[in-house]
Structure 1
Amino acid sequence: MSDRNALVATWICSLPENVAKDIGAPSITTKKRKRPPQLTSPPASVQEEMPSTPKKRRRMSATDPETTPRPRIPGSSIPRSNTAGSTTSSSHTSHISSRASSPKKQMLNLRLHEPVLEFNALSLNLNALPPAARELVEAMTEIGSNQDILPHAAKSSIMESVNARDPMPRLWRYAFKSAEDDGDALLPRRIPCFREVEKICRKANECQQYDHEEVSWNCSVHARLLELILEDEDGRPCSEFDAMICTTVRLHPVWKPIWSPGKMIDICLYHISTSQDGNEDLHAKITQLSRLTPTGTINHTDFYPVSMRPIVLSIETKKPGVHWEAAQLQIGIWHAAQWAFLRWAVVDKLRRQSINDNGQGEGEGDGGNGIVDKSQAQAAEAVHDAIEVEVLSVMSKLGFIPGVIVQGHRWHLVLSTYEDRKTKLWADRQFGSTQTCLESYSVIAGIRRLTAWARDIYLPWFKLYILDND
């Protein structure tokens, strides 16, 4: 170190007193600050001995093909730094990010690497659906035609408003059922008045015209329309079902497919089963099952507002004309998790029943020494096979689960079926729109029809095969 300092000192002493001064140039007086004399480069021998100073990082040009563009921090010209620790980590992160940004890639991964979810076109595969699912598709298709969507009893009051306010009243001439058809009375109530539906349409067209965000559509249009169907004028449920916005709900890791992000839905319909509503027995059975599930709830999510309320219909929403594949992916993943949860609950109940019927629990029958003979192992395998056969039978009795995708104005029916531990999503069939009051009444009729499915098919199956009957 001392030798290096000595060399530097020798070099400084050898510098000339006047540096870079042009002898022939005239002397000019100026008020500007004079620049200090610039030092010449040190000799090569001294330069080799001097410690190297850290060089500034090379600025990456915007046109550098090797440069990965980075998003800039809002309000700053500094791009975000890359936090990847290695090339491998960076490429892995890039792969995940790319996969997450492409619904098609996620669909492919779910089909190839983890075959738990498959996507199909509903219009091309009707014969592959269970008979009950085909009946529902037919009913929803009829609703989508805007015919026979309203009860005859509501005709006079609605048509009075239509004739006064709708510029095309002739389109309503097939909207009402005949006086002899009383099937509408069997559907969950209620039928909103024309003024209420007209307000929803006005909000929906406002959202479309001024390009509102998805959350605005949910709050101003979708959720309000469901409230008109499921709640009375005072905001109380007028049937055993209600709906809520649930954009923060997440799948529990136990049920989420590995090759998928934790996708969410936007709105869910649920069954009201609180002890305050006179459902003490049902509420007690739901509480009993919730103590056994990994979620600690009655559903495939630990979302607290529906922890004790079975989800009966799931709705995914998007802005008009965008992200249709993402919507299918989200509700498909959601349904796959729901089917996995239901299968787990069926298996758990059958195993507990088998243990009770045999009069012994797990680990018993081995003489206390942990040794299980061949006959006992064969008996356990036979019980397992019998349970699997029963599980297939129970799951086939449910057959399918409907869902809804709302894209702006348009409401679409989707279905999911379950076979060989694989969920198949079938999309789609439009059954209504909020562009006009007439089409909005089709949405109302469709939701009432789906709620009737939940009341007549899903809940009886759920109570019989999921909840305990003790």
Structure 2
Amino acid sequence: CHRSDCKGVQLTQQHHSLSPPGTQSTCRKRKRNMSEHSAKRQRVGPSEEDEEDVTNGILETPRANSMLRRGQTTLVSADSQSQTSGRSSPSKQMDALELSDFKWNRQLSIDNPEIPDELYEFLTEMSSCNSGIGIISQSLKAELKERSKTDRSFRTFQDFMFADPNIRDAIGYTPLIDEVEQIVNEARECQQYSHPEASWNGSVHFPLLHRAIYGPRRQQKLVGVMNWQEYLKKNTVPKMVDYTFYIDPSADTPAPAHAIMQLRKILPCSVINHTDYRPLRDRPMAVTVETKRRHVSLEAAELQTGTWHSAHWEFLSRRLEKTGGTFDKLSFLPGILVQGHDWSFVVTTREEVLYNNKVT
């Protein structure tokens, strides 16, 4: 996504049951249930028990009354026909998947000859960024050099890390040094005093993502969302994600926005995504971000991301089936897993889930 048309929004986690979308009355009932449940669950912050529930992704929902069968797609979940299986741990759900037709590849590498060319090019660019090549605007070089005289933590910056402002600023906002220091200090506080996931999200993860997408603009209001059972495969437990980046279809020309408006007229609940979260009703989602506090297994995050992406693939598949289109120009869906200081890039394809090495 270009900076001009890619936006972000936080999706906080809630527990509620949803029926498959179908009629307008179904949509109204779902929204009413969500509102009632949210009111019952309001509190200042989540307890450790609540966080454990979210980590395990325990949700009991009715099975969709109609499902289309296709070729193998990314799916990260377990059998939910019974209460016992629905409450199984993430590791048990993943073990069950190994007995099915779904494949796992935890290591995403440019050395893998099977990855699509588009993904190879993307990973190559990410590797350069991870090495620090051209990630800082040249306009900050003098200030960093001056600060290095009194703070040795600023002495690690090398010349190859700086880029021409016209080139660097074209791909996104460069945070001010004081902004970065504030986030680093908040992260240090969260780590040292073992803050819960909500603190990491509010003090570290969201401010960092917000500056990367919006720059210095004010923050947006945040509410909860989850994916629909309608777009999940049989026996799949619905999951939620913390954040998503979306595309603004009216950023460049009015044509995409007009096409989306026409498509919404025939889609369930008149939304363009696999969730009925109203602010995203006409904004296609592009990247998902799932977060966890430190020292919590990432298995639950992997399940949440994989299941969310599975529903996304299903939604897209149904559209292409009706229009006769193909996935030739969409070889993967990107995602991010965050655990404290550690950030991992994840992509899902139609066949498997691939995980990259974490970046700290």
Instruction: Identify whether the pair has TM-score above 0.5, normalized to the shorter chain.
Output: yes
Partner of 2:168: 184
CA distance in 1, matches of 2:125, 2:320: 30
Is contact 1:297–1:307 with CA below 8 Å preserved after alignment?
yes
Q: Matches of 1:285 and 1:222 in 2, distance apart?
A: 34
Q: Aligned residue for 2:115?
A: 129
1:295–1:348 CA distance, 2 compared to 1 (3 A):
farther
Q: Which residue of 2 aligns with 1:399?
A: 331
Shift of the alpha carbon at 1:98? 5.1
Structure 1 residues 324, 93: CA separation in 2 closer, same or farther (over 3 Å shift)?
closer
Equivalent residue for 1:436? none
1:425 equivalent in structure 2 = 353
Deviation at residue 208 of structure 1 after TM alignment: 1.3
Q: Output the amino acid matched with 2:124.
A: E
Identity of aligned residues (%): 30
Mapping for residues 111-150 of structure 1, pairs under 5 Å: 111-113=98-100, 115=101, 117-123=102-108, 126-150=112-136
Q: State the Cα distance separating 1:186 from its structure 2 match.
A: 3.6
For the residue of structure 2 that corresponds to 1:301, the secondary structure is coil
> Does the CA-based 8 Å contact 2:271-2:282 persist in structure 1?
yes
Report whether the alignment pairs 1:101 with 2:88.
yes
1:83-122 residue CA offsets vs partner (Å, 9 max, x unmatched)? xxxxxxxxx9996435533212222434545x4x532122
**1:338 aligned to 2:322?**
no
In the alignment, is the contact (CA less than 8 A) between 2:132 and 2:161 conserved in 1? no
Map residues 313-392 of structure 1 onto 2, 5 A cutoff. 313-350=287-324, 391=325
Structure 2 equivalent of residue 380 of structure 1: none
Given residue 137 of structure 2, which amino acid in structure 1 is its aligned partner? P
After TM superposition, the structure 1 stretch with the greater mean CA deviation from structure 2, 222-231 or 146-155, is 146-155
Q: 2:247 is matched with which residue: 247, 251, 271?
A: 271
- The corresponding residue for 2:35 is none
Could you tell me how far 1:136 is from its partner in structure 2?
Answer: 1.6
- What are the Cα deviations for residues 131-185 of structure 1, in whole angstroms up to 9, with x where unaligned? 1112222222232233432132332234434544x43223112562355x96434
Measured against aligned partners, the alpha-carbon deviations of 1:56-99 in whole angstroms (never above 9, x if no partner) come to xxxxxxxxxxxxxxxxxxxxxxxxxxxxxxxxxxxx99964355
Q: Matched residues in 1 for 2:160 and 2:208: separation?
A: 19
Q: Distance in 1 between matches of 2:132 and 2:277?
A: 36
2:202 counterpart of 1:202 = no
With 120-129 and 215-224 compared, the bigger mean Cα shift is at: 120-129
Unaligned runs of 5+ in 2: 1-78
| Residues 242-261 of structure 1 mapped to structure 2, 5 A cutoff | 248-261=224-237
Q: Distance in 1 between matches of 2:170 and 2:349?
A: 26
Could you list the per-position Cα deviations for residues 173-215 of structure 1 after superposition, in whole angstroms to 9, with x for gaps in the alignment? 2562355x9643441x211100011101111111111211112
Task: Report the counterpart of residue 49 of structure 2 in structure 1.
Answer: none
Give 1:323 deviation, angstroms: 2.1
Q: Which moved more, 1:332-341 or 1:136-145?
A: 136-145
Instruction: Assess, with a 3 A threshold, how the Cα gap between structure 1 residues 157 and 255 changes in structure 2: closer, same or farther.
Output: same
Per-residue deviation, 1:244: 7.6
Two-structure CA RMSD over aligned residues (Å): 2.8
TM-score normalised over the length of structure 1: 0.54
Is contact 2:135–2:163 with CA below 8 Å preserved after alignment? Answer: no
Q: How far apart, CA to CA, are the structure 1 residues paired with 2:236 and 2:254?
A: 38
Question: Partners of 1:98 and 1:184 in 2: how far apart?
Answer: 49
How many angstroms does 1:295 deviate by? Answer: 4.6
Q: Is the 8 A contact 1:401 1:417 kept in 2?
A: yes
Q: Is the 8 A contact 2:291 2:339 kept in 1?
A: yes
Q: Relative to structure 1, is the Cα distance of residues 416 and 183 closer, same or farther in structure 2, using a 3 angstrom cutoff?
A: farther
Q: Given the alignment, which residue of 336, 348, 352 partners 1:416?
A: 348
| Contact 1:414/1:427 (<8 A) preserved | yes
Query: For 1:329-364, what per-residue CA distance to the aligned partner results, in whole angstroms no more than 9, with x for missing partners?
Result: 1101111111111111122223xxxxxxxxxxxxxx
What SS does the aligned partner of 1:127 have?
Answer: coil
Instruction: Tell me the TM-score normalized by structure 2.
Output: 0.70
Q: Which residue of 1 aligns with 2:157?
A: 172
Q: Is 2:88 the counterpart of 1:156? A: no
Residues 190 and 163 of structure 1, relative CA distance in 2, 3 Å threshold: farther
Match of 1:303 among 273, 277, 290: 277
Q: Tell me the distance in 1 between the aligned counterparts of 2:121 and 2:234.
A: 34
Contact 1:109 1:259 in 2 (8 A): no
| Counterpart Cα distance in 1 of 2:276 and 2:163 | 45
Amino acid at match of 2:247: H
Q: Deviations over 1:277-330 (max 9, x none)?
A: 685433222121112222521111111121111111100001113121111111
Which residue of the partner structure matches residue 368 of structure 1? none
Tell me: higher relative CO, structure 1 or 2? Use CA pairs within 8 A at least 6 residues apart: 2
Question: Matched residue of 2:156: which SS?
Answer: helix
Distance in 1, Cα, partners of 2:212 & 2:355: 24
Paired residues, number: 281
- Give the partner amino acid of 1:336: S
Q: Is the 8 A contact 2:245 2:285 kept in 1?
A: yes
